[in-house]
Structure 1
Amino acid sequence: MTFSVPIKRALQDFRQVETWVFDLDNTLYPPHSDLWPKIDARITAYMAALLGLDGMSARALQKHYYRVFGTTLSGLIHEYQVDPTEFLRFVHDIDRSSLDPNPALAAAIEALPGRKLILTNGSHAHALATAKQLGIDHLFDDCFAIEHGDFLPKPHLLTYQRFFERHAVDPARAAMFEDIVHNLEAPHASGMLTVLVKPKHGAEDFREAWEKHEGVPAHVDFATDDLVGFLAKIVS
């Protein structure tokens, strides 16, 4: 297990945690996986067909919406009132067979005491299919997907508040695992323990440049590039 920086809280602080919350994409599976590039390509194709744009123009607009609105879907809903159900069904219709099951991750999650939940900007169907491919779907009590937050994505505080209410989560007794730094701001402000899951040094990383962060800001309590090892250390 590698900590990117000296930890700011003691691992003993996790003893108070009764709800373990995990982001999905690039957190429960690593950012060098080809799943996100597959989804990304289908978003571009959807926008090109919807707006009659060439691939380069569609991709540029896609990335603009993603940066400004938090998800491309939010931008399309705001600007073009697209049907979010249709969009999510199309962009998450991918082959997940390249993602290997992760029995070590399954064992580490199973060993955590308390509830385990997924909180994702993806669809519920995508979360379930991906967790199943990883061999961890049976370990989670539920999933709060983008549709459960009325398509308002992380990092909006209201999305987390809706998540807390829907699942009766006490933030002071919960921990959030996430790969994007700014998605941990609201959880930290709400009282959650925050863990930034970073890619291993030198590993391929398909995330956007603005999603990556070299340092670890004050709202991040822990940072690790080894999720399995980190979880194992918590319960040891």
Structure 2
Amino acid sequence: MLAELRHVRNWVFDLDNTLYPASANLFAHVDRRMRDYVARLIGCGPEEAHRIQKHYFFAHGTTLSGLMAEHGVDPHDFLDYVHDIEMEALERNEPLAAAIARLPGRKLVFTNGDAPYAARVLERLGLSESFEAVHDIHATAYRPKPDPTAYRGLCDAYDLAPEASLFVEDMARNLKPAKAIGMTTVWVNNGSEQPPDCTDRTFIDYTTNDIAQWLHDILETDI
């Protein structure tokens, strides 16, 4: 393993567009159902619903957070609706499962989705047994990444020392609070949507477009 990663004992992974490639386009189905939910809630057309949805996403961290703040939406109702999608786009990823199994220490998922949805995704990917726990949006008290309290809550919940932890994420902005508390950061730059005004990358330690390959590379590197 790379010498500079010998300190890592906690491996924390985002879920969507991180443990599977953005090219699978799974989240597009979730995105579409978010748009439909907004349209039905507000009583507007699909184009306006899409605009509102993205405004909430960029301004509040998630569409759900915006809807809760502005419309008092029940998070369970929203998440049940938007996550009611088929998973055929996902395939088992044996190389990723093998790499995660070889990592020294603890492995967790940290997602702005919910645990039932995460369980379905992990099962399709062949990763159901790969992680100790899923820290989801309910566990953050609906204060999603990149809210700094979500990261502190994760560390407190599982007794993680940030300086011994590494966080992998496809949304670059979500790595900034992790770096601020001492985590090592890995950006999966595989084409997922980024806020147009978030161009700072100084808080990113490593960048890859394929997390399975990156993990295999660091595990095979001699020191």
TM-score bracket relative to the smaller structure: over 0.9
- Change in Cα spacing, 1:212 to 1:219, as seen in structure 2 (3 Å) is closer
**Equivalent in the alignment of 1:235:** 219
The answer to whether the 8 A contact 1:108-1:228 is kept is yes
Could you tell me which of 25, 32, 39 is aligned with 1:48? 39
**Equivalent in the alignment of 2:97:** 106
Runs of at least 5 residues in structure 2 that lack an aligned partner in the other structure:
none
CA-to-aligned-CA distance 1:129-188 (integer Å, 9 cap, x gap): 101110012110001001100111101111100111011111011100011111111111
SS in 1 for 2:32: helix
Deviation at 1:208, TM superposition (A): 4.7
Runs of at least 5 residues in structure 1 that lack an aligned partner in the other structure:
1-9, 200-204
What RMSD over aligned residues (CA atoms) do the two structures have, in Å?
1.6
**Equivalent in the alignment of 2:208:** 224
**Equivalent in the alignment of 1:165:** 156
CA-to-aligned-CA distance 1:55-79 (integer Å, 9 cap, x gap): 1111111111111111010000001
Deviation at 1:99, TM superposition (A): 0.8
**Equivalent in the alignment of 1:131:** 122
CA-to-aligned-CA distance 1:85-136 (integer Å, 9 cap, x gap): 1100110111001211111111111111111000011111111110111001
Letter in 2 for 1:81: G
Q: Does 1:94 pair with 2:80?
A: no
- Change in Cα spacing, 1:15 to 1:177, as seen in structure 2 (3 Å) is same
Identity of counterpart residues, as a percentage?
38
Letter in 2 for 1:14: L
The answer to whether the 8 A contact 1:180-1:211 is kept is no
SS in 1 for 2:34: helix
SS in 2 for 1:148: coil
**Equivalent in the alignment of 1:198:** 189
Letter in 2 for 1:113: P
Letter in 2 for 1:43: M
**Equivalent in the alignment of 1:14:** 5
Letter in 1 for 2:208: T
Q: Does 1:29 pair with 2:29?
A: no
Q: Distance in 1 between matches of 2:47 and 2:35?
A: 9
Q: Does 1:207 pair with 2:193?
A: yes
SS in 2 for 1:210: coil
SS in 1 for 2:108: strand
The answer to whether the 8 A contact 1:19-1:116 is kept is yes
Q: Distance in 2 between matches of 1:141 and 1:15?
A: 20
The answer to whether the 8 A contact 1:149-1:162 is kept is yes
Q: Does 1:80 pair with 2:71?
A: yes
Q: Does 1:179 pair with 2:170?
A: yes
